[in-house]
Amino acid sequence: MECRKQGENSNCACTYTSCARHGICCECIEYHRSKGQMVACYFTPEAEGTYDRSIKHFIEDYKG
Ligand code: SF4
Protein backbone atom coordinates (compact mmCIF):
# COMPACT_ATOMS: atom_id res chain seq x y z
CA MET A 1 0.00 0.00 0.00
CA GLU A 2 1.29 3.39 -0.88
CA CYS A 3 0.32 4.92 2.45
CA ARG A 4 2.41 2.39 4.39
CA LYS A 5 5.51 3.73 2.73
CA GLN A 6 5.01 6.75 4.89
CA GLY A 7 4.93 4.63 8.01
CA GLU A 8 7.29 5.51 10.79
CA ASN A 9 6.52 9.05 9.85
CA SER A 10 6.85 11.67 11.83
CA ASN A 11 3.58 12.98 13.00
CA CYS A 12 2.62 10.01 15.12
CA ALA A 13 1.88 11.24 18.65
CA CYS A 14 2.17 7.81 20.26
CA THR A 15 5.11 7.47 22.62
CA TYR A 16 5.01 3.66 22.39
CA THR A 17 7.49 3.75 19.55
CA SER A 18 8.24 0.04 19.48
CA CYS A 19 4.67 -0.67 18.32
CA ALA A 20 4.59 -2.31 14.88
CA ARG A 21 1.73 0.03 13.93
CA HIS A 22 3.55 3.20 14.90
CA GLY A 23 3.07 5.78 12.18
CA ILE A 24 0.77 3.50 10.17
CA CYS A 25 -2.49 5.25 10.95
CA CYS A 26 -4.86 2.89 9.12
CA GLU A 27 -3.58 -0.12 11.08
CA CYS A 28 -3.48 1.81 14.34
CA ILE A 29 -7.12 2.87 14.03
CA GLU A 30 -8.24 -0.58 12.95
CA TYR A 31 -6.50 -2.18 15.92
CA HIS A 32 -7.82 0.12 18.62
CA ARG A 33 -11.28 0.42 17.12
CA SER A 34 -11.60 -3.37 17.17
CA LYS A 35 -10.98 -3.19 20.92
CA GLY A 36 -13.43 -0.35 21.47
CA GLN A 37 -10.62 2.10 22.14
CA MET A 38 -9.27 5.43 20.92
CA VAL A 39 -5.86 5.95 19.33
CA ALA A 40 -3.01 7.83 20.96
CA CYS A 41 -3.37 11.08 19.06
CA TYR A 42 -6.77 11.79 20.65
CA PHE A 43 -5.25 12.11 24.12
CA THR A 44 -3.35 14.90 25.80
CA PRO A 45 0.36 14.09 26.19
CA GLU A 46 -0.15 13.31 29.89
CA ALA A 47 -3.02 10.92 29.28
CA GLU A 48 -1.33 9.38 26.26
CA GLY A 49 1.65 8.44 28.36
CA THR A 50 -0.46 6.13 30.55
CA TYR A 51 -1.17 3.91 27.51
CA ASP A 52 -4.77 3.60 28.66
CA ARG A 53 -6.58 3.92 25.32
CA SER A 54 -10.07 3.26 26.67
CA ILE A 55 -12.99 5.49 25.73
CA LYS A 56 -13.61 6.04 29.44
CA HIS A 57 -10.10 7.41 29.85
CA PHE A 58 -10.54 9.56 26.74
CA ILE A 59 -13.71 11.13 28.16
CA GLU A 60 -12.02 11.79 31.50
CA ASP A 61 -9.07 13.36 29.67
CA TYR A 62 -11.33 15.43 27.45
CA LYS A 63 -13.30 16.80 30.40
CA GLY A 64 -10.03 17.75 32.05
S1 SF4 B 1 -1.83 4.11 19.46
FE2 SF4 B 1 -1.65 1.89 19.76
S3 SF4 B 1 -1.53 0.95 17.72
FE4 SF4 B 1 -1.18 3.16 17.52
S5 SF4 B 1 1.05 3.35 17.51
FE6 SF4 B 1 0.34 3.66 19.60
S7 SF4 B 1 0.42 1.65 20.61
FE8 SF4 B 1 0.54 1.35 18.36
- pLDDT tens-digit series, residues 5-25: 555 567 899 999 999 999 888
- The whole-number average pLDDT for the span 28-41 is 97
Q: Which helix (H) or strand (E) holds 34?
A: helix 25-34
| Residue 1 pLDDT exceeds 80 | no
Spatial neighbors of 17 by CB under 8 A, at least 6 apart, are none
| Residue 32 pLDDT exceeds 60 | yes
- The whole-number average pLDDT for the span 47-64 is 97
Å from CA of 35 to ligand 1 middle? 12
**16: Cβ below 6 Å to ligand 1?**
yes
Å from CA of 25 to ligand 1 middle? 9
How far is CA 46 from each of CA 19, 28, 49, rounded to the nearest angstrom?
19, 20, 5
Å from CA of 31 to ligand 1 middle? 8
The range of the structural domain enclosing residue 46 comes to 2-63
Beta bridge partners of 37: 54
Number of domains in the chain: 1
Quote the percentage of the chain above a pLDDT of 90.
73
**38: Cβ below 6 Å to ligand 1?**
no
